[in-house]
Chains A and B, each alone.
Chain A
Amino acid sequence: MEWIERRGQVLGTAALGLLMVGGYLGLVWAPPDVNQHDVMRIMYLHVPIAWDGELAFGVVFVASIMYLWKRDLKWDRLAAAAAELGVLFTALTVALGSIWARPVWGVWWTWDPKLTATAVLFIIYVGYLMLRLVAEDPVRRARQAAVVGIVGFLDVPLIHLSSQLWRGLHQGATFRVLQDPTLDDRMQVALIVNLVAFTVLFAFFLGQRLSLGRLEQRRDEILWEEAQRV
């Protein structure tokens, strides 16, 4: 975990560079879509950001299990950092989904199964962060958060499944981007570059957020020592 923190500068610069390249590829180089024309370019943001959100929650899940197993607070720090990133990226995913839906279907919201599932996921992890805010001592907080992190992640496949079944009965506006056979070669390249770019960005943010977590933990330790001495 420490190696991500230490490579901050490298990751940050790399992310910035890749995002610029990805932006160019997505906005200029890739051709417009046959059906959705230029609006399709939102995909080069939406798919990678959605992926970042899912990656984040996977990290929360693993870190939560590791904490309950090893009881080393560094895992709790990882879970907290990843959850914050997850909330950021799912919020952006939902916002982008809405912006994408408007020109394509004329509505600001469509009960697309994946978008609906992402919205629910967003709320689950906001709840996770709220729990961390009101919990009192760091060890108990880590324990309680870990349970929520695990249970929340276990719910993900069920949420996806149920949203799909729910919508399946009323066919309508859905994003079926990745199964779209009309995805041009150039579009695939642009998508992959943006995917890599946003993953590197994720790693960069994670490292920074972990540093912050470590500083906060040290501050708490110092204050605790002081309180003991008095």
Chain B
Amino acid sequence: MWADQVWAVLRKDVLLEARSRANVNAIVFFAGLVLLVFSFALGPNRAHLQTAAAGILWLALIFSGVLAFGRIYQIEAENGAFEGLLLVAQNRSAIYLGKMLGATVVMLLVEIVLVPLMAVLYDLDLSGGMPILLLACLLGTIGFAAVGALYGALTMSLRAREVLLPLLLLPVTVPILLGAVKATGVALNGGHGDLAVWIELLVAFDIVFVTAGLLTFEYAVGE
């Protein structure tokens, strides 16, 4: 039953997005733009860019992620439709998970575009590190989405949402940023490097914050 609710929320958002692809397209383009802008700011020395590649990737992901976490609640915020969501899924924690998974999907789509783009722009060799890269992207994205789906809902009704969401989100997600960048760095290095400890960090963060999100979401949206 609970899983059905999660699926219902996720499906509704995905269908809405699929029909008007403006939302996801804009976010993907924005991420690509951030990548480009960082390249201008830090380049054109290819060696420098290669060293900074993992960091630049995750910065682009964070900034587009902040947009995404705001957008997944935009419909509900604008139309006061949050009560409508409760018809679809009575359990607020199910709504949380549905929203979180939706945000994860959006960010994964961004990554699918961004990673090859970056490999081309910076002449990166992804051959040795692909599995690690996939793992790092997945774990890191889940971590961001876990906090993002919570704080996005929390700030949904506030008039200063655009500033407050990143202000709250970024410091809390520092551990995920550190872990994801380091793990991605190992992947881009052909798989050589101290990986285990970063993966453990990412997993720990994911577990803690998905749990925290499930438990506190009802308070974030109003009870």
Contact = CB atoms under 8 A, between A and B. Distances in A.
Nearest to B217: A147
B140 interface: no
Contacts of B188: none
A62 B222 CA distance: 20
B109 interface: no
B175 A162 contact: yes
Contacts of A148: 151, 154, 168
Q: How large is the interface on A (under 10, 10 to 19, 20 to 34, 35 or more residues)?
A: 20 to 34
Q: How large is the interface on B (under 10, 10 to 19, 20 to 34, 35 or more residues)?
A: 20 to 34
A124 B171 contact: yes
B164 A130 contact: yes
Interface of B: 147, 150-151, 154-155, 157-160, 164, 167-168, 170-172, 174-175, 178-179, 182, 194, 197-198, 201, 204-205, 208-209, 212, 216, 219-220, 222-223
A212 interface: no
Contacts of B157: 140
A126 B164 CA distance: 11
A154 interface: yes
A148 B178 CA distance: 21
A159 B154 contact: no
A15 B84 CA distance: 55
A131 B171 CA distance: 14
Contact of B160 (A123, A134, A143, A147): A134
Interface in A145-200: 146-148, 150-152, 154-155, 158-159, 161-163, 165-166, 169
A21 interface: no
B164 A165 contact: no
Most buried by A among B150, B151, B171, B179: B171
Given A120-B174, A150-B216, A158-B175, A165 B201 contact: yes
